[in-house]
Structure 1
Amino acid sequence: MLPGLSDEQVRALRRVGRAWGRVSAPPEVWHRALPVEPDLGAFPARAEAGSAWFGRLVPLSPLRTRAAGGRRTVEPAGPAAVGTSGTGASRRVRRLLLGAPLASSAFVTERMRKLVALPVLSADALSSVAYGPEAMLAVLVLAGAAGLAYSFPVAAVIVFLMLAVGVSYRQTIRAYPHGGGSYIVAGDNLGPTAGLVAAAGLMTDYVLTVAVSIASGIAAITSALPGLTPWTVPLGVLVIVALLAGNLRGIRQAGALFAAPTYAFVIAMFALIGAGLVDAAGTGFQPVAPPVLPVTEAVGLLLITRAFSSGATAMTGIEAISNAVPAFRPVEWRNARTTLSWMVGLLIAMFAGIVGLIHLTGVVPRSQETVLSQLARLSFGGGWMYVYIQAATAAVLLLAANTAYNDFPRVLSLLARDDYAPKTFLRLGDRLAYSRSIVLLSLAAALVFIAFEGRTDALIPLYAVGVFLAFTLSQSGMVVHWWRRRDPHWRKSLVFNATGAVLSGLVLLTAGVSKFTSGAWVALIAVLLFLLVTTRIRSHYTAARAYLRLRPHAVELPARTGAGPLAPEIPAAGPPGRPGPASDRETEELPEEIHHLSVVAVATLDLAAMRTLAYAASLGQPVLTVHISTTEDEQRRFRAYWSLWGDHLPLQTVLSPYRAVVAPLVQYIETLHRLNPGLTLTVILPEIVTRQRRYQPLHSRTAGRLRRALRHLPKIVITTVPFHLP
């Protein structure tokens, strides 16, 4: 979060510090005038959190505050509601739907063992056998029985592709043991533009994962309950709303909760395949002839390639494990590779088994009932086992949709980190979830679902483009990676990744050409728009950063505070404690009754921050600068920069080990107020103001969040110092 300073900026920082020294009181004067003890302790470390299955919430408070005499005491947690907006009825409705804000907590990801990681990370991939084989057959059936005869060869090529891509991602895990999604791999090895294109494919994939999974899940329900078919679109939108509300509440399912639907689905599929094979054995494995079908297209290369690209959507979600390597227990990369192998093995077995059953039973796709439902009716009738298979299918598909709610915000936060998306997507919301990313995903998925009337066959053509665009760039990036690194066994790894890249590229080309008029053009347009928007955002951030760079002659300096008869005197202060009245009631009516402390919140040392510091110092009141650091390295670097500047004002750095920034700042200010109720705290922040209003959302709105979080406390004033970009 803290940008590094170049050699030129370090020299500028020293020159600015010397200029400050000529006009400002000596640092010891500012430190002596401070009416508070700034060191309020530390937030709990990760090791102090209790254990859980997959995730946990840990309190960021209480701060271990320093009491009189230097001993540490524990202060009670404050009631801050970070980010809470709205008043009256709207706030009550928000609390009812989303729950009370978790202002003082942070989420810690747990390490997973393989049996938990498999269902958690494989739900998307394994659930795709519910619609992948049917999508392939839906194209082949257009050529009648002659087209269905190609189901085995096409399925065999898809199985080979699954194996090749799975082996390729095993190499990715070895090369990127800290997680290597398509955006990271392509960006590192093929350049920023390739990384952006891969991210565009991923974002499209996640939106369509929600739409397709929900469409398939609703289809499983309506197959068992045909009377609900006219309500397909309202039911799908209702599920999206439920997923939106659940994820905005910050729900983090435990491993057991994730495991149940996925393992239930795997058991259901193997039970279905086993029962079907037993039935087929009674007839000597003689396939049942399919019904007479109208022929609307001739068998040709275009038809075969369309069927291949549709069926290949059964591979969606294969890369999920390579993204989440750090979430495994040690040895992380080895456990991740083992889990990936299990997933690919299960995926191939279920896909091949379902295709084999379809061939043996003569089942063909029907608009009113899914292929899986037909197979289950043939094997189990309409009994409890049929209900179990349909329920397990619907559950795992809806769970697969929820998986996108974890991955989409993660990729968007990486883009925001790299200046390709608004910085607001980096921050957690009231319930410690990426609220804005979740809302954006839900709106996009709902629009796609409604536009295509919740039909899986209509959504599949859009799906393949994004999936295999990310696959192709990721595997191509790995080829470049091995060529550059030339580690032991690099040739074998390069061959595996090159095979995956070529096959994925062929599927991408096939899907783009054969399904262009069927809807693939929508995905291509979405990718181009994504590139246009992200590059514009990056250009703005680059220009803003260049303008905010430290330049000695552009830095504002405070009025002379340490010399001259007209210089304002910094108020003297006694020992740190509670100046002023002991009560925190707002009873001051005369200026001399108000005891000030200016708290300047600074994220980095740039022109906007320097102007804010100059403004605070020019007021002639005690000043305390606060910086929230998310890592110990950032904390050390900021203190080093502060020393280079000259340490002119008192500085307190607060280490927040959970990536949260605003919540720890609120807690620090609350604790400072609680220990010094007689002080009026004026919290001063820099504010970036853009000339073009459309770029304003790209910059922080921390002041508004602080106002909402601290408005319940007396004697706290929030003010901003605007810095206008040209």
Structure 2
Amino acid sequence: MYMSLKRLLIGKPLKTRELGEQRLNKSKALAILSSDALSSVAYGPEQVLIVLATIGFTAFWYSLPIALGILILLIALIFSYRQIIYAYPHGGGAYVVSKTNLGEKFGLIAGGSLLVDYILTVSVSVSAGTDAITSAFPALHQHNVAIACVLVIFITVLNLRGVTESATILSYPVYLFVLGLFIMIGVGLFNIATGHAPAHAHPPVGTYVSGVSLFLLLKAFTSGCSALTGVEAVSNAIPNFQEPAAKNAARTLMMMGLLLAILFSGITFLAYWYGISPRGEETVVSQIASDTFGRGTLYYFIQVTTAMILVLAANTGFSAFPLLAVNLATDKYLPRMFSIRGDRLGYSNGIIILSVLSIILIVAFQGKTENLIPLYAVGVFIPFTLSQTGMILKWIREKPKGWKHRFLINLLGALITLLVVFILFTTKFTQVWPVLIFMPLIVLMFLRIKSHYDAVGDQLRIYESEASQPIKGNIVVVPVAGITKVVENSLAYAESIGDEVIAIYVAFDRESERKMEEKWKKWKPELRLFTFVSQYRSLIRPMGRVIDLIEEKADKHNYQVTVLIPQFITKKSWHYILHNQSGVLLRTYLLYRKNVIVTTVPYLFKK
């Protein structure tokens, strides 16, 4: 049943040699890796207006110079990450750059920040997409959290089906969204140029605004910088590109930057010209579309495609999180399960973990996008700053041909992103302070995992000076609960592998002990049976004491001790609950004994 459902949802397994067919061309890569950045234009300009609205409507003209500052930062980031792509063509982005040039701790901070950022990418994107849906259908507002969770599950299944299949499906909504916004911006600008749009709905540029402060403007700027999240995804996912991977990734990055700049500028300008004010029940994009087209077909086309890309923008997280987790797992900072490919050649463990954590966040924050965005921005701008700083040190240290202009690009990027991080902590400390707690915890977790793997490797490594002593024999201990076919089967196997076989029976009263000894003498007189009475009705402790004594004897003669546990296997799985699981408890207890081998002899029931 499980396997049939799995095949229906995910598809049949792919062979390893088909991995090359799972790589992306530029058009598909642009769709799945830039969907996060492109979708952020649906809420980035709105976040700027939400901050400015605290002063009043006349402050909305400040959205234009703020947008210009964000575009300058975007250009710096695009050219900076283009250099990272060529310098580190095997992917890893900010994590690899920081670890290589700044050291282990900074690399782990960048890696941990990005992992958290990708979790937030899914949560924010799906929450924003749900907001777009409920803006068009207000009756669904009360079901925001449930809708968001269902959408995360849908995207998870889509990604478990494989990279190319998900990219093929996702490319249509992304390009339809871009087309829809281009039409909306084009029609809006045409209406403005021809006088069909109101000319006095907005405050004039330069209008004096009482109460405005540098602190408020910087807060609005950092809020708008949420539109830049996802820019780094291409540099993390270079291995997913067709060859030449680095060249294709760089071109995809440049195209993403161009589209993002046009869409962000257009929406910001139209929101200003139309005098749009942010509302809790309707998004800014929805209001612009309504003013441009009315509530007709094109309006619903914009809303549907916006909702789709906001939801599917989560796919950037699903594309980049598993690959970053692979890099961390390869370096032993995350469990090795993250480096294992699933049936469809994707890193399914990373995909599933990302899905679960995202749903937990959505439920915890009740699907409120504005509560997640500050953490979202911090999670991406810390790696931005570290990666740019790492590249600065790389150019200074290596000094390749033409390094000075590359150095200046990364220096500009580092200074701006560092300023953004400082502003975020200054203006939104009450919202971003959790970063100061969970980031050290994440880095500590990475280091503890690495320490464990190093310790395991050291213990497994064979040293010539530590030659193992040869095993001269095997003492097999068989716990028995009575005289049955299960016990008979186990004893027969024990005699085939052991030089000495010892059976142990634990009774709860003297009468049961006496009866068992009498039966045993008639049934297997040639095998030794140890019997004990457990006054406290415990099986584990008496057997543990006996095994201790046998182990001491074995050590003296360089014998191995094997505890062979009889285990019957019921025909139906639910039958297990009808029987005691003392064998499972004993096996769990003995697995932690250093010099005892524990094995199970199954006996299958037919009915």
Same fold (TM over 0.5): yes
Corresponding position of 1:363: 276
| Equivalent residue, structure 2, for 1:540 | 452
Deviation at 1:483, TM superposition (A): 1.2
Residue identity matched to 1:166: I
Q: Is 2:111 the counterpart of 1:199?
A: yes
1:154 aligns with 2:66: yes
Q: Is 2:224 aligned against 1:334? A: no
TM-score between both structures, scaled by the size of structure 2: 0.74
Structure 2 CA distance for partners of 1:387 and 1:206, relative to 1, 3 Å: same
Q: Which runs of 5+ in 2 are unaligned?
A: 204-208, 474-488, 498-558, 561-590
| Preserved contact between residue 124 and residue 369 of structure 2 (Cα < 8 Å) | yes
Structure 1 residues 508 and 391: CA distance shift in structure 2, 3 A: same
Residue 280 (structure 1) aligned with residue 173 (structure 2): no
On the 8 A contact 2:365/2:372 being kept in 1, the answer is: yes
Contact 2:92/2:324 (<8 A) preserved? no
Query: In structure 2, the residue corresponding to 1:143 is in which secondary structure?
Result: coil
**Structure 1 residues 306 and 250 mapped into 2: Cα distance closer, same or farther (>3 Å)?**
same
How many residue pairs match? The answer is 490
Aligned partner of 1:446 in structure 2 is: 359
**What is the CA distance between 1:360 and its match in structure 2?**
0.7
Cα deviation, residue 153, structure 1: 1.1
SS of aligned partner of 1:552:
coil
**Mapping for residues 124-273 of structure 1, pairs under 5 Å:** 124-250=36-162, 252-253=164-165, 255-273=167-185
Q: Which shows bigger deviation, 250-259 or 275-284?
A: 250-259
Identity of aligned residues (%): 41
Q: Give matches, 1:632-651, under 5 Å.
A: none
CA distance in 1, matches of 2:156, 2:172: 21
- 2:13 maps to which residue? 102
Q: Which has the higher helix share?
A: 2
How far is the alpha carbon of 1:333 from its aligned partner?
2.9
Structure 1 length normalisation: TM-score?
0.62
Instruction: Rate the CA distance shift 1:255–1:426 in 2: closer, same or farther, 3 A.
Output: closer
Partner SS, residue 411 of structure 2? helix
**How far does residue 453 in structure 1 lie from its aligned partner after superposition?**
1.6
Task: Give yes or no for contact 2:229–2:380 (8 Å, CA) kept in 1.
Answer: yes
Amino acid aligned to 1:321: V
For residues 539 and 691 of structure 1, the distance between their equivalents in structure 2, rounded to whole angstroms, comes to 23
Partner amino acid, structure 2, of 1:522: P
Deviation string, structure 1 residues 605-638 (Cα, Å, up to 9, x no partner): xxxxxxxxxxxxx99xxxxxxxxxxxxxxxxxxx
**Cα shift readout 1:650-705 (whole Å, capped 9, x = no counterpart):** xxxxxxxxxxxxxxxxxxxxxxxxxxxxxxxxxxxxxxx8899xxxxxxxxxx99x
Residue 351 of structure 2 corresponds to residue 424 of structure 1:
no
Q: Does 1:513 align with 2:426?
A: yes
* Aligned amino acid, residue 281 of structure 1: A
Q: Where do 1:33-44 residues align within 5 Å?
A: none
Q: Which residue in the other structure is 2:28 paired with?
A: 116
Query: 1:467-505: per-residue Cα shift (whole Å, max 9, x none)?
Result: 101111111111111111111110110110111111111
Residue 556 and residue 337 in structure 1: after superposition, are their counterparts in 2 closer, same or farther (change >3 A)? same
**In the aligned structure 2, how far is the partner of 1:115 from the partner of 1:241?**
25
Q: CA deviation at 1:212?
A: 0.7
When residues 412 and 114 of structure 1 are mapped into structure 2, their CA distance, relative to the original with a 3 A threshold, is: closer
CA apart distance, 1:121: 2.1
| Matches of 2:164 and 2:42, distance apart in 1 | 25
| Alignment check: 8 A CA contact 2:109 2:439 kept | yes
C-alpha distance after superposition, 1:140-165 (max 9, x if no partner): 11111243131111111001100111
Pick the structure with greater CA Rg. Answer: 2
Could you report, residue by residue, the CA deviation over 1:545-575 in whole angstroms, capped at 9, with x for unpaired residues? 2333322343425458xxxxx9xxxxxxxxx
Shift of 1:99: 5.3
Q: Give the Cα separation in 1 of the matches to 2:14 and 2:35.
A: 31
Residue pair 1:287, 1:362 contacting (<8 A) in 2 also: no
Distance 1:334 1:248, change over 3 A: closer
Aligned to 1:659: none
Question: Match of 2:406?
Answer: 493
Equivalent residue, structure 2, for 1:528: 440
Q: Distance in 1 between matches of 2:161 and 2:36?
A: 22
- Provide structure 1 residue ranges, at least 5 long, that are not aligned to the other structure: 1-88, 561-565, 567-586, 596-617, 620-688, 693-702, 714-726
- Coordinate RMSD, CA, aligned: 3.5
CA distance in 2, matches of 1:480, 1:92: 51
Query: Quick check: 1:133–1:311 contact (8 Å CA) kept in 2?
Result: yes
Q: Distance in 2 between matches of 1:690 and 1:334?
A: 52
- Which residue identity lines up with residue 459 of structure 2 in the other structure? Y
Question: Following the alignment from structure 1 to structure 2, what is the Cα–Cα distance between the partners of residues 222 and 509?
Answer: 35
Superposed structure 1 runs of 4+ greater than 6 Å apart: 689-692
Match of 2:201 among 273, 289, 304: 289
User: What residue in structure 1 maps to residue 547 of structure 2?
Assistant: none
Distance 1:177 1:552 in 2: 40
1:399 pairs, out of 312, 320, 324, with: 312
Are the aligned partners of 1:512 and 1:520 in contact in 2 as well (CA < 8 Å)?
yes
Q: Is the 8 A contact 2:159 2:166 kept in 1?
A: no
